[in-house]
Structure 1
Amino acid sequence: MFAKTTTSLFTLALAALSAQAIITPTSPDSNTVVKVGEKINALWTVDSTDNWNDVEIQLMTGDNLQMVPLATVATGIDGTKVASYSFDAPDVSPYSKIYFLQFTNGGATTNVTWTTRFTIAGADGSTTEPENSTVYSGQTVQWGTGTLLSSVTTDGSSNSTSSSNSTSDATSGGASASTASTSVSMSDSASSSDSSTSATSESSTSASASGSRTAAGASAASASASSSNSNSGAGQVTVGLGMVGVASLVGLIMAL
């Protein structure tokens, strides 16, 4: 009975741990010093059972009990498959070991984890010591409250901008291709129209010439027929006169 109870409690404890499981940040750490403009590499352990598939990362400052968010540097990261994220260190004030990263799943503040404090230094490497120190659970923690002097740019936003430009270029290219295609089509249509007009004109000219030749032929035939009719009429008159002359001669002979 005791063994069964122990097993049941152990199973429930594991279930509770699984329900509250979180990713474990490993970088940046207390030894990390990043100059303004350099990459801040956020690293964490991946556990596919944690269901941290909507990781949000924020750059933070302040003490342990009054944390101040400076900027959201990433959202929507699948923490069950991806174990890192990079972004450019923004310009801040002061340059000191008073900055850290906060990780949540979908922004839920009921399950939060953090890195240790790390240093953001000036572009020339200059830094100052944290202004404050507080003892938490027997451990002295140095801290301070920084401010953001420039916006945070990330690899994700850079890739997004690149994609946007590619899309814009592709759209431009498509529009140019479409314009070129339209021009070619219009040109081809114009050429076809010109060819058709030319062909129609040639056909009309050919028909006109053919009609003229036909009319000329008809006129010639008519003239020939008229001439033939005239000649035939003249022949008939001549024959008639000849017959009259013969009849007269026959009459005279009979009278004698």
Structure 2
Amino acid sequence: MFPSKYSIGAALLAFCVVTNASLAPSVPEPGTVWQAGKEYEIIWEEDNIKPSISQAWTDFRIDLMTGDNDDQIVLDTIASNMSGVDSMSYKWVVPDVEPHANIYFLMFTNDKDEAAWTTRFAIVGPDNIQQKPENTLQPDGQNIPWGIGKLVDEEQTVASVSVVSAVGDAAISAAAAVPSVGGVVSENTSNMSIMPGSQTAPSASNVQATTTITSKAQSSQTSGDSAHTASNVSSASALSALANFTGLLVSLTVGMLFL
């Protein structure tokens, strides 16, 4: 727990700020400490201001907030399309956050943009350790400690997307660096190993060697094809000449028989 100046005294100053609202959040309350990953019950009640909750709060949402009083930041929408007619509480599995400190609060907002807030409360990990809020005073000078938190899952999601993007870019870069001559693609991938977060492309010497070898192979293949074609043409010419000579002999033989 925080020393006394960070706990009940400061929390009471921030407890249940309400603007033109008949809904009064009651839990979390001053001194509340909730552990990430566990389910807790958010509770609100009538504050005896007309119109009643059942009349004015028929469509509202609950947001997890952080930041100072003047610059509030929405971290997550806990629930939406809520109705004060149906219930006066909501069960919520607390997400993991950073830092684990007394710098989080809930905001209730209805379809008329009327709002109500809880006090700041702490979200901790399995070790129940709290850090002190980064700031001790609000921008207007009030002695209400505050800080800016963030969702841990959100950070992990962004990191995962960055890694996938880096690997994809590396694969594209490596593929573009491998030369393709006459439709022949080198199968040498010894310098194309791609680890997450790295972009290793083939070295210039290997690219040059691959290009030279591939070009020679293509040149050799082209020469072989030309020789094979010339051989076929010569064979066809010889056969044609032989056929003509055979036809001439047959004609002479037939002519001599009729003499």
- Which structure: larger Rg? 1
Scaled to the shorter chain, the TM-score interval is 0.3 to 0.5
Determine which structure has the larger helix proportion and give its number: 1
Normalized against structure 1, the TM-score is what? 0.47
Normalized against structure 2, the TM-score is what? 0.47
